[in-house]
């Protein structure tokens, strides 16, 4: 068992209070048989086990396990690029993704994301939601993390909240150690590192009112006054 009994009790209580609707956890894995030429997935089994243990803590949660190599239709439907991966789906698919096992410090973010998805809304400030509404074109956010980084979960949570609040945004947590080639491609030398639409990035976990400025800068939606605020932060 991956989740200790004392933690199971706490999570069960959190779900009883916080879940407001059914949530499906869709796990993408390599399946029972290893395909010839396919790279091994060392954390796939543990990811499936962890997600199933989480789902067992509430009747509102369900799990669907998908073979990444053979179920191409599901892979395309959810836009999954690599494994292990978990899509958290509520009344709709908000684009909340975990690439890599949601363990270590990220486990708390995973639990909180499940509850937000069940509600279909988040605790982002009204001002942030108003600014976020300016984003009217597809945006892909990737937050690179490690399980031992205590500053990473807030960055992941912020990105996932954006995805829940704006249908144009898809947001991934990416575990750097499980996907070293991807981390190298995006020059991840420290975490958290947030990459937006391939060509914009910022590092660290920062307060919501500052992080949203970076997101709007990536979307080219900043007002002149906000541009000054962002420039002041860079000094």
CA nearest to 170, candidates 214, 138, 201: 138
108 and 151 inside one domain: no
Q: State the residue range of the domain holding 129.
A: 123-235
CATH of the domain at 213: 3.40.30.10
45 and 115 inside one domain: yes
Of the three residues 120, 150, 181, the one that is the final residue of a domain is 120
- DSSP summary character for residue 103: -
DSSP-derived 3-state class of residue 128: helix
Residue 36 pLDDT class (50, 70, 90 cuts)? low
Helix axes 208-218, 152-165, angle to 10 degrees: 60
Rg (CA), the chain: 18
Residue 157: what are its φ and ψ, rounded to 5°? Answer: -60, -40
pLDDT digits (tens, 9 = 90+) for 3-18: 999 999 999 999 999 9
Of the three residues 66, 93, 120, the one that is the final residue of a domain is 120
pLDDT digits (tens, 9 = 90+) for 138-167: 999 999 999 999 999 999 999 999 999 999
220 and 146 inside one domain: yes
Of the three residues 98, 120, 142, the one that is the final residue of a domain is 120
User: Computed from CA positions of residues 182, 186, 190, 194, in that sequence, does the dihedral angle turn out positive or negative?
Assistant: negative
137 and 31 inside one domain: no
114 and 134 inside one domain: no
91 and 131 inside one domain: no
84: left (phi over 0), alpha (psi -120 to 50) or beta: beta
Q: How far is CA 20 from CA 2, 6, 9, 185, in A?
A: 26, 23, 19, 39
DSSP-derived 3-state class of residue 47: helix
Confidence check: pLDDT of 32 > 70: no
9 and 58 inside one domain: yes
103 and 179 inside one domain: no
pLDDT score recorded for residue 109: 98
pLDDT digits (tens, 9 = 90+) for 38-97: 678 999 999 999 999 999 999 999 999 999 999 999 999 999 999 999 999 999 999 999
Cβ atoms of 188 and 111 closer than 8 Å: no
74 and 184 inside one domain: no
pTM score over 0.75:
yes
* Cis geometry, peptide bond prior to residue 84 (ω within 30 degrees of 0): yes
pLDDT score recorded for residue 35: 55
Residue 31 pLDDT class (50, 70, 90 cuts)? confident
pLDDT digits (tens, 9 = 90+) for 106-134: 999 999 999 999 999 999 999 999 999 99
6 and 72 inside one domain: yes
90 and 134 inside one domain: no
């Amino acid at each position: 068992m991956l989740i200790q009994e004392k933690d199971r009790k706490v999570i069960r209580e959190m779900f009883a209070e916080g879940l407001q609707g059914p949530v499906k956890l869709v796990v993408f894995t390599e399946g029972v048989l290893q395909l010839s030429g396919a790279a091994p997935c060392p954390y796939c089994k543990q990811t499936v086990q962890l997600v199933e243990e989480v789902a067992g803590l509430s009747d509102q949660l369900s799990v669907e396990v998908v073979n990444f190599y053979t179920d191409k239709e599901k892979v395309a439907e959810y836009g999954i690029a690599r494994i292990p991966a978990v899509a958290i789906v509520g009344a709709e698919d908000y684009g909340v993704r975990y690439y890599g096992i949601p363990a270590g410090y990220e486990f708390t973010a995973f639990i909180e994301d499940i509850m937000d998805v069940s509600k279909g809304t988040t605790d982002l400030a009204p001002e942030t939601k108003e600014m976020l509404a300016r984003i009217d074109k597809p945006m892909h956010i990737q937050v690179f993390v490690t399980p031992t980084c205590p500053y990473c979960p807030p960055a992941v949570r912020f990105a996932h909240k954006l995805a829940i609040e704006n249908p144009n945004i898809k947001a991934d947590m990416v575990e750097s150690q499980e996907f070293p080639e991807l981390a190298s491609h995006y020059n991840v030398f420290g975490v958290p590192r947030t990459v937006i639409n391939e060509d914009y990035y910022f590092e660290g976990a920062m307060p919501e009112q500052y992080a949203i400025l970076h997101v709007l800068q990536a979307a080219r939606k900043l007002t002149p006054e906000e541009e000054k605020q962002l420039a002041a932060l860079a000094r």
